[in-house]
Amino acid sequence: MRAFRREGESVTLRSLEERDLPLTMQWRNDPRSLRWFVSDAPLEWTAHHAWFTRYQASESRDCMFFAETSDGQPVGQSSIYNFSCDGRRAEVGRFLSDPELRGRGLFRESLLLTLDAAFGPLGVEEVFLAVLSDNERAVRLYESVGFEVTHRGSGERAVVAMVLPRARFGQASARADCGAS
Ligand SMILES: CC(C)(COP(=O)(O)OP(=O)(O)OC[C@H]1O[C@@H](n2cnc3c(N)ncnc32)[C@H](O)[C@@H]1OP(=O)(O)O)[C@@H](O)C(=O)NCCC(=O)NCCS
């Protein structure tokens, strides 16, 4: 899955490449993004690049994706990681879109393609994620593709845990018809 590419109706999802890193760091450090991450310290280039080098060298099943429109305009990034030993469960996240392109449904299609990769070639049965409880936009997006809340934390910067089993994704994606090839 380190050489992944899947085309949707408006968005192509492919493996993250080294050339994408300056942009993903810029998106992540934008004030419109930063506050929504559990770890909200700005990324620094050396650490960002070293993380990618470790990821590429590792033999884990983790996948980092980059989404762009069919004419090559960058849309966002997503990831599948923390696989269970039997490979049936995995976490999805590191979701991030270009702050200038939000609200157009492009990231939603990227998310559907990411989930399609998890439940398709990666053979995962259930994905889970964690999101800050006040990140209403993200929670709404996850619910719209079938995720359900399993746990709600409390206090400042509380986290909500959500899960999506393959069967429920089948129903949501049939409705959304993301057009993945
Ligand atoms: C969460 C995040 C990745 C979502 O990406 P996005 O670019 O906003 O997502 P989209 O544009 O695909 O879809 C979301 C909105 O577009 C709307 N939309 C969907 N299809 C649309 C279409 N065809 N035309 C116009 N709007 C559309 C949706 O209704 C939704 O609106 P809402 O936010 O009012 O519910 C993005 O907001 C982000 O990067 N946030 C900062 C980091 C973050 O929170 N990451 C998640 C941590 S868990």
Q: Whose CA is nearest to atom 25 of ligand 1?
A: 104
DSSP label at residue 147: -
CA distance 22 to 116: 27
Whether the CB of 106 sits within 6 Å of ligand 1: yes
Element (H, E) at 75: strand 74-81
> Ligand 1: distance of its center to the CA of 62 in Å?
24
Beta strand segments in the chain, E: 5-7, 11-15, 63-69, 74-81, 89-97, 126-132, 148-152, 159-165
Domains delineated in the chain: 5-176 (3.40.630.30)
- The pLDDT assigned to 173 comes to 61
Element (H, E) at 171: helix 166-176
63 close to 83: Cβ distance less than 8 angstroms = no
Residue with tokens 């039997």: 86
- The pLDDT assigned to 141 comes to 97
Element (H, E) at 68: strand 63-69
- The string of pLDDT tens digits covering residues 94-132 is 999 999 999 999 999 999 999 999 999 999 999 999 999
- The string of pLDDT tens digits covering residues 42-52 is 999 999 999 99
- The pLDDT assigned to 177 comes to 47
- The string of pLDDT tens digits covering residues 160-180 is 999 999 999 977 665 544 433
- The string of pLDDT tens digits covering residues 8-28 is 999 999 999 999 999 999 999
- The pLDDT assigned to 3 comes to 85
pTM of the model: 0.91
SS3 content of the chain, % helix, strand, coil (to 5): 35, 30, 35
Whether the CB of 119 sits within 6 Å of ligand 1: no
Sign, Cα dihedral of 113, 114, 119, 125: negative
- The pLDDT assigned to 180 comes to 39
- The string of pLDDT tens digits covering residues 136-157 is 999 999 999 999 999 999 988 8
